[in-house]
Amino acid sequence: MRVACIQPELFEKRTKCYNEIENILKELLETHKNCDIICLPERWVPFLRDPTQNFQQQRGNDYSFIKNLAKEYNVKFISGAIWEKRTSSKKPAITSYFFDENGEEIGRQDKIHLYAYEREHFEPGKELQVFKINSSYCFTILICFDMAFFETPRLAVENGADLLFSPTQIREDGMENWHVYLQARALENRIPIVACNTFGHYLKRKFLGNSKIISFYKGNISPSKLKIIEGPKGSSGFIFDELDLNFPRKLREIRLKEKIDKIKIKIKIVKA
Rounded to 5, what percent of the chain is helix, strand, coil? 30, 30, 40
pLDDT value at residue 117: 86
- Which domains, and CATH codes, for the chain? 2-259 (3.60.110.10)
Q: Each residue's pLDDT tens digit in the chain (272 positions)? A: 999 999 999 998 999 999 999 999 999 999 998 999 999 999 999 887 776 778 999 999 999 999 999 999 999 999 999 999 998 899 999 999 999 999 999 999 999 999 998 999 999 999 999 999 888 999 999 999 999 999 999 999 999 999 999 999 999 999 999 999 999 999 999 999 999 999 999 878 999 999 999 999 999 899 999 999 999 999 999 999 999 999 999 999 999 999 999 899 999 999 99
pLDDT value at residue 257: 93
Q: Any residues with CB less than 8 A from the CB of 217 and at least 6 apart, and which?
A: 225, 226, 227
Q: Cβ distance 65 to 34 under 8 Å? A: no
pLDDT value at residue 171: 95
